[in-house]
Amino acid sequence: MQYIDPEAIMRRRLEGAEHPRWDAAVVCFRDLEGSRTIVSRFGAAPVSHQLLWGVEPTEDGPTTFACDLGGQRVAILTRCHWGGPQAAILVEELAQLGVRTVVGVGAAGGLVAEFPRGTQSVASRAVVTDGTSPHYTSQDVVYPDPDLLDLARTVAEDAGLPTQDACVATVDAVYRETPQLVESYRAKGAHIVNMETAPFYAAAARCDVRAVWIGHLSDCLTESGWEPWDDLDDMTAATADWAVRIIACLQS
């Protein structure tokens, strides 16, 4: 028994409300400015639906958008930058709404020299280093949908966008990223680190949702210290355009 059942919760929220007809979704694992860039690249418009946990309008404006692309109705969920629990909750709820394809768009920190700032990456695997993923999987490594992974690679190649496959570690406590913790991630084969990829993949697999994460390297955690993020607009725009092409090719 689940005390809080996602099917029952979504049924209750949908009472008297219009059921959104979304074929696919893009989850923006970014802040306000990054999310706005992604929404702009999709040409998406705000929608009135307030069905998803933690994705409600704020004083900065709406957080849920939608557009028609490639013969599909696509939801764009913005400002989803609070890590594993939020990623898993949104996957669970999108699954209850009938969404079966989700593209995560985010940013990450580089852990090895081969992944400098600005690198565009697709998460080909994620090591389970967080607290949310073990509720969805007993495996040490989780993976994207293989067809979506191949599509992401192909779309990037066709667009002339240099990208790299990455193994991702997921961190819950960004203010506790010590050299010892980062070295443990490297020892597990991780190239980059963020707050969401492993639970995003683990929840998607459990909920029978196809998922893939793409993003760029916004900062680096090196032996000499932290190379902070700045000048991200062009990097975000390139990632967003990549996501648009992936979604547009889903039915082709």
Q: Quick: pLDDT tens for 18-31.
A: 889 999 999 999 99
Predicted confidence (pLDDT) per residue in 44-103, tens digit: 999 987 889 888 777 778 899 999 998 999 999 999 989 999 999 999 999 999 999 999
In the predicted structure, residue 232 carries a pLDDT above the cut 70: no
**Beta strand 72-77 with 24-28: parallel, antiparallel or unpaired?**
parallel
231 vs 33, 136, 156, CA distance in Å?
A: 12, 36, 22
At 119, give phi and psi (nearest 5°). -65, 130
Q: Which pLDDT score is estimated for 55?
A: 83
Q: Say what percent of the chain tops pLDDT 90.
A: 83
Of 249, 85, 77, 237, the C-alpha closest to 155 is 249
**C-beta separation of 214 from 164 below 8 A:** no
Nearest CA among 71, 70, 75 for reference residue 98 = 75
227-246: string of b/e by CB count within 10 Å (b at 16+)? beeeebeebbbbbbbbbbbb
Mean pLDDT of the chain: 94
**Residue 2: predicted pLDDT:** 86
**In the predicted model, is pLDDT for residue 230 greater than 70?**
no
For 6-248, CATH gives: 3.40.50.1580
pLDDT tier for residue 118 given thresholds of 50, 70 and 90: very high
Task: Identify the residue with better confidence: 251 or 209.
Answer: 209
> Which phi and psi (to 5°) does residue 4 adopt?
-115, 100
Predicted confidence (pLDDT) per residue in 3-16, tens digit = 999 999 999 998 98
Distance, in Å, from the CA atom of 62 to the CA atom of 79, rounded to the nearest integer, reads 10
Given the DSSP bridges, would you call strands 72-77 and 120-127 parallel, antiparallel or unpaired?
unpaired
pLDDT for res 231: 60
pLDDT digits (tens, 9 = 90+) for 166-208: 999 999 999 999 999 999 999 999 999 999 999 999 999 999 9
Residue 218 and residue 229 in contact, taking contact as beta carbons nearer than 8 Å = yes
Pairwise CA distance, residues 126 & 51, whole Å: 29
Instruction: Please give the Cα distance from 222 to 77 (Å, whole number).
Output: 32
Q: Is 10 helix (H, G, I), strand (E, B) or coil?
A: helix
- Please answer whether residues 142 and 205 qualify as being in contact, where contact means their C-beta atoms are separated by less than 8 angstroms: yes
How is residue 58 annotated by DSSP?
B
